Amino acid sequence: MTSIPYPRWVFALGAVALLAPTTVAGPATADDDRRSAAVVRTDQGAVRGGVAADHLSFQGIPYARPPLGPLRWAPPQPGPIWTGVRDATRPGAACAQLKGLPMDAPSESEDCLYLNVTTPRSAARTPRPVMVWLHGGDFRFGSGDGYGGQRLAVGGDVIVVTLNYRLGALGFLAHPALAGADGITGNFGLQDQQAALRWVRRNAAAFGGDPGNVTVFGQSAGATSVCAQLAAPAAAGLFHRAIMQSNSCANPVQTRADAVGAAEEFARRVGCTAPAAVAACLRAADPARLVETAGYPGAGMDLGPVVDGRTLPVDPAYALTTGRLHPVPVLTGMNRHESRLVVWGMERSGLNCPKPPKPDQEPESCPLTDEQYRDQVRAMFGDRAEEVLAHYPRDAAQPASATLGAVLTDHDYAEPFYSAAMAFARRVPTFAYEFADEDAPFFTEGPEPTFPVGAYHCAELPYLFTVDYAETLTPTQRRLSDTMVRTWTDFARTGRAGWPRLGGGSSYVRVLAGDGGSGTNDFAAAHKYGFWRSFDR
C-alpha cells in the first residue's frame, strides 16, 4: 500500500458608537419580517444586514481592498469607502482554493477579503464581547461564511465576526522576487487577519461590541493562525483572549529557507523559470493555475506561515518557550480522535483496497487490514516503528483503522497540545479541554466511514456554529452544545473557563462529552504523553 500522510482532499471616519444596530423596515410586503433589515454605519459607510428572529447578520463587508493586479502578493490595503447603504445580506466570494472538506467550496476569486458580523437582536446594557473566528483548512481551504455565528452570538450574548483571508500560494508564497522594498514576502494571509482585527477595533462599537474585549479563536490552521498572531508584533493589542482548537503553538512553522525553497519550486511548476521575469510571470498567472499548482496536502507544496523577520520575527513555538507571546488568557484543546478523519481519508482514497483505483475511477472505501496498519506505522516512523507498534498493539475489538487513528492522534495532536498547554500555563491563565463525544455528527457528504470516527478532527464545530455540512445534533448533543457555547463565550467575557486552570501543580483537562459535558481524565496516560514526549527528543 502506498503511504500517504494526508489524502488529497482532506483538508480562513470613526465608527458610530451605537450599543445596538438600528433596525429599519424594508418595503411593506406580506413577508415584512423577512424583508426587514438592520443598518449600521461603519467607518467605510453604512451597511444593511438581515434580521432573523433572534439575531442580526451582516455579510460580505470588505475589510480591505481587493488584492488584485499590483496588490497580489502585497500587504492588505485599507478597504473601500462608499456612499449610501451597502447591501450586506450575502457573503463575499471565498478566496481562491480547490475543494477541500465538505464545508469548503472551490473558488477562483482573488476579490475575497470580506468579513461577516452576527449580533444578538436584543439591545444590550453594556457593549458585548467580540469573538473573531479564523477558519481552518490547511491554509489552502475554507471561508468565514461557512460558520454561522448565531449559536454563539445568541447563546452567549456576544458579537461574532468570521472572515476570509488569502490562502495557499496567493496568501503565503514567500518568493524573493515578490519582495517589497523591505525585502519581506509571504505571510499575506496573516496580514489579512490583522487587517480584519484592526477593522474590528475601529468598528466593533457600531455593532454593539466592546473593542477592548476581543477574543481571537480558530480551529486547525485557524488555531495555528492564533498562535502566529500571539507572536506577531503587529497584532499586539488587537485581541485580549485566545482560543485554540485542534492545534497548538508547539508545532514549528516554516523557516525562511524552507519557504523560499518551496516558493522557487512552485514558480518552476507554474512555468515561471526566467530569473529576470519570475515576478512578472507569477503576477500574470491565472489564479486557477496558481491554486491547481499548490494542489492538496501531501503534494509537496508546503505553503503556510513562515518566519520572515517582520510579520513573524520568530517561530511561535520558540516564542512560547521563551515567553515572547502576547500575554493573554488562553483556552486550548483538542478532540479525542482527531486523526480518525485522516484515516477515513485514506480509506476514501482507495489506495489500501486490493485493487487501487485507476485515475478515472471513483475509488471504493476499503478498511485497513492488520498488515496495512503495521505497514503504515513502519512507513511513518521508520526504524522506530517497532516501539510504536509495541505501545499500540492491534486490538481485535477495534478496527485497524481506529488503532492507526490513535497512533496519529497521540503523536500529531495530543503531545504537541499538552506540551504547549503546560508551557502557556507557566505564563498566562490557561484552561484545557478534550472534546470527546463518541457519537459526534459526521459529514453529510460522501460515503459512511467503515469504522467509528468518534470525536474526529472538526467534530466540535457543529456544537459551536450553525453549519449545513454535518448531521443534526441530537437533544443530548444540543445540551453539550449549550455547555460549550457558554464556556467559549464566558471565557471571551471574563478570561475564565469555569474549571481549574492548568499550572501550579494542576494538570486538569476538562472532558466535554455526554449529557452537557463533565468530568476529567488522566489525559497524559490516555494519550501516552510520556512515550511521545521522549520519542521525538
Active site positions, annotated: 220, 338, 457
Any idea which residue has 498567472 for its cell? Answer: 285
β-sheet bridge partners, residue 511: 434
What are φ and ψ of residue 290, in 5° steps?
A: -65, -40
Cell numbers for 251, please give them.
Answer: 508545532
Give 49's Cβ-side CA count (13 Å radius).
25
CA gap 244, 167 in Å, rounded: 19
Cell numbers for 299, please give them.
Answer: 503534494
Any idea which residue has 484515516 for its cell? Answer: 343
The secondary element (H helix, E strand) that includes residue 159 is strand 159-163
CA gap 379, 42 in Å, rounded: 54
CA gap 492, 476 in Å, rounded: 25
CA gap 431, 435 in Å, rounded: 13
Question: Which residue type, as a one-letter code, is found at position 14?
Answer: G
Radius of gyration of the chain (CA): 23
Query: Is the distance from CB of 459 to CB of 335 less than 8 angstroms?
Result: yes
Per-residue HEC secondary structure of 286-304 comes to CHHHHHHHHCCCCCCCCCC
Cell numbers for 216, please give them.
Answer: 481571537
Query: Is the distance from CB of 458 to CB of 101 less than 8 angstroms?
Result: yes
Residue burial 186-206, b: 16+ Cβ < 10 Å; e: rest: bbbbbbbbbbbbbbbbbbbbb
Number of H helices and E strands in the chain, helices first, is 18, 13
CA gap 163, 94 in Å, rounded: 9
Angle 52-56-59 from CA coordinates, rounded to 5°: 110
Query: Is the distance from CB of 87 to CB of 48 less than 8 angstroms?
Result: yes
Cell numbers for 426, please give them.
Answer: 507557566
Q: Chain centroid to CA 493: how far? A: 21
CA gap 527, 514 in Å, rounded: 20
CA gap 136, 49 in Å, rounded: 26
β-sheet bridge partners, residue 56: 51, 119
CA 16 → CA 46, 59, 120, distances in Å?
10, 19, 18
